[in-house]
Structure 1
Amino acid sequence: MSEARRVSHRPRLLLTAATVVATVATAGSLYLSLGLGLTPCRLCWYQRILMYPMVVVLGVAAVENRPGVVRTALPLSVPGGAIAAYHSWLQVSQTTCGLGAVSCTQIQYRVLGLTVPNLSLVAFLLATGLVVVASTVRS
C-alpha cells in the first residue's frame, strides 16, 4: 500500500478506535447497572449522558472518515472527562457528596483496581485524544 493511501486511512482508523472506546464504555456502564444491579450515582448519570451519544457521533464520523467531528465530539468528551476526574477525586478524598440517593464517594465496583469513575475518565481521555489526533492527521 502506498504511503499516500495509508495516510488517508489514519483518521478513519483513529475514529474507529475512538468509537470502540465509547462503545466499550457504554456497554460496560450498562452491564454494571443492568447486569450487576449497581445503582449509578448522579455523577455517573452525567457521564453516561455525555458518553452514550459519542458512540453514534464517532461511529458516523468513522464511517464517513470525518476528522472534523472534533467540533462535535469535544463538547461531549471534555466535560465528561472533567466530571469523571471530579468524581474520581471525590472518591479519593472521601469528601461527602450530597447529589442523589447514592453517594458519589461510594466505591461499588473495581476493574483491575480502577473504580468506575476512573474507568470513565480513561475512556473520555482516550476518546478525546484519538479524536484530536485524527483531526490533525492529513487525510
Structure 2
Amino acid sequence: MHNQKVISITIFYCFLIASIASLGSLFFSEFMDFIPCTMCWYQRIFMYPLVFLFLVNLLESDYSIFKYAIPLAFIGFCFSFYHNLLMWGIISDDVVPCKHGVPCSTEYFEYFGFINIPFLSLSAFSLILILLLIGQNKSKKY
C-alpha cells in the first residue's frame, strides 16, 4: 500500500509540473506576446500531452502510465537539452531547425545569468523524467 501511495504522489507532482510548464508556455506566447521558435514548439508537442496523461492517471490509476509518459518526457528532454546547448553557445545557430521565423537563440528574458525559457523547459522535463523513473521503479516493486 505504501508504494501505491508514493506512485500516486509522484504522478500528482508530474501533473503539477507539466501543468505549470504548459500554462507558463501559453502565458509567454499569448499574454506576453513572445513568439515561440521551432524548438519551443517541439518541446510543447511533448509537454502538453503529459498534462492529460497524468490527469487521466490521477482519476483512474494505471501503472502503464510509465510506458507512455517516459518516452514523451525523454524526447521532450532531448529537445530541451539541445535547445539549451544552443543557448549556452555550445552548438552553433547553423545546426538548429529555426530557419524561418524567430531564431532559436532568441532570449526574451534571463535571470541570474542562466534562467530563461529553454532552461525552464529543461528543468520541467528533467524533474518529470526523474519522478517517472522513480515511480516506475516503485511500481515494479509493487
TM-score (norm 1): 0.89
SS of aligned partner of 2:64: helix
Contact 1:46-1:80 within 8 A present in 2 as well? yes
Alignment correspondent of 1:107: 107
Gaps of 5+ in 2: none
After superposition, give the CA deviation of every residue in 1:63-119 in whole Å (9 maximum; x if it has no partner).
222232111012211111000001011011172246121010111123564111111
What is residue 127 of structure 2 aligned with on the other side? 126
Q: Relative to 1, partners in 2 of residues 1:68 and 1:47: Cα closer, same or farther, differing over 3 Å? A: same
Listed as ranges, the matches of 1:1-139 within 5 Å are 5-93=1-89, 95-96=92-93, 97=96, 99=98, 100-110=100-110, 113-137=114-138, 138-139=141-142
Amino acid at match of 2:57: A
Equivalents in 2 of 1:58, 1:13: separation in Å? 11
- 2:128 maps to a residue whose letter is A
Q: Give the root-mean-square deviation of aligned CA atoms.
A: 1.7
Structure 1, 36-45 or 53-62: larger mean CA deviation = 53-62
Moved over 4 A (4+): none
**Identical aligned residues as a percent:** 27
Q: TM-score, normalised by structure 2?
A: 0.87
Q: In 2, distance between residues paired with 1:47 and 1:133?
A: 22
2:38 and 2:97 in contact (8 A); partners too: no
Structure 1: gaps of 5 or more residues? none
